[in-house]
């Protein structure tokens, strides 16, 4: 019965799936590696998503992003097993991969920078590697959120599994707010519009901070 309900909803309005990558539990909540979770939480709050519920080895909540039905998801397995949860949801809703958007941390972008990319490699990211393996393809959209690189390969794991510094709040909070505000553009497939809107909102936030002297 539940499957028939969701298929009927799918016929009424095509569904999008937004997935944030991260590790579960309070110990990891503010880690750099969890910025994907943070982005999904910000979108859920901004668009008054339905209550989170456990499903597909994760947590899901449905949101209306300015007229676009979107399922928000946070896998509750650890990062290197994220693909199993996402693949279950994709198969259940029979979603083509062009309706899947994955938010994740990106070492190769400076802190506060954001890029949207369709497909590509995994660049050593365990969450992306798991998704590509379980989905049988890496041809899904990625929202790459820059966290910067610690400078040496051997420092990468401690870096991503450490909390954001207090000073990072200057760019992190405005960025997450901007991602949430601009999310409907991404849901409609306007990647360039989404990136431009995020950049504009972050620039306005920075200018406001400078004027206030904070």
Task: Supply the pLDDT for residue 159.
Answer: 95
Domain boundaries, the chain: 2-166
Task: Supply the pLDDT for residue 214.
Answer: 55
pLDDT tens, the chain, 214 aa long: 555 554 555 445 579 999 999 999 999 999 999 999 999 999 999 999 999 999 988 999 999 999 999 999 999 988 889 999 999 999 999 999 999 999 999 999 999 999 999 988 877 788 999 999 999 988 899 999 999 998 888 899 999 999 999 999 999 999 999 999 999 999 999 999 999 999 999 999 888 765 555 5
pTM summary value:
0.90
Task: Supply the pLDDT for residue 119.
Answer: 85
DSSP code string of 110-122: -TT-EEEEES---
Compute the distance between CA of residue 150 and CA of residue 156 in angstroms, rounded to an integer.
Answer: 6
Task: Supply the pLDDT for residue 121.
Answer: 84
Judge contact between 36 and 103, C-beta under 8 A: yes
Task: Supply the pLDDT for residue 3.
Answer: 53
Task: Supply the pLDDT for residue 105.
Answer: 95
Bridge partner residues of 73 (DSSP): 19, 60
Task: Supply the pLDDT for residue 8.
Answer: 54
Task: Supply the pLDDT for residue 211.
Answer: 56
Q: Phi/psi class of residue 169: alpha, beta or left (left: φ > 0; alpha: ψ in -120 to 50)?
A: alpha
Task: Supply the pLDDT for residue 57.
Answer: 87
Tokens 């899901």 — which residue?
A: 60
Compute the distance between CA of residue 66 and CA of residue 63 in angstroms, rounded to an integer.
Answer: 9
Active site residues: 33
Identify the CATH assignment for 2-166 out of 3.40.50.720, 3.40.390.10, 3.40.50.1470, 3.10.200.10: 3.40.50.1470
């Amino acid at each position: 019965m539940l499957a028939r309900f969701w298929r009927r909803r799918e016929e009424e309005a095509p569904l999008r799936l937004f997935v944030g990558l991260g590790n579960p539990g309070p110990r990891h909540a503010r880690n750099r590696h969890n910025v994907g979770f943070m982005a999904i939480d910000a979108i859920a709050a901004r668009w008054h998503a339905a209550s989170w519920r456990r499903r597909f080895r994760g947590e899901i909540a449905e949101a209306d992003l300015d007229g676009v039905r979107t399922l928000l998801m946070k896998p509750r397995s650890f990062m290197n097993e994220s693909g199993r949860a996402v693949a279950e949801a994709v198969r259940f809703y029979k979603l083509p991969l062009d309706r899947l958007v994955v938010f994740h941390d990106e070492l190769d972008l400076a802190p506060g920078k954001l890029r949207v990319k369709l497909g590509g490699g995994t660049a050593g990211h365990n969450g992306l590697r798991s998704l590509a393996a379980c989905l049988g393809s890496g041809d899904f959209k990625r929202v790459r959120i820059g966290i910067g690189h610690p400078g040496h390969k051997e420092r990468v794991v401690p870096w991503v599994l450490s909390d954001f510094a207090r000073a990072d709040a200057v760019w992190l909070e405005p960025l997450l707010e901007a991602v949430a505000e601009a999310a409907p553009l991404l849901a409609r497939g306007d990647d360039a519009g989404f990136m431009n809107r995020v950049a504009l909102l972050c620039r306005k936030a920075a200018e406001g901070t400078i004027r206030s002297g904070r």
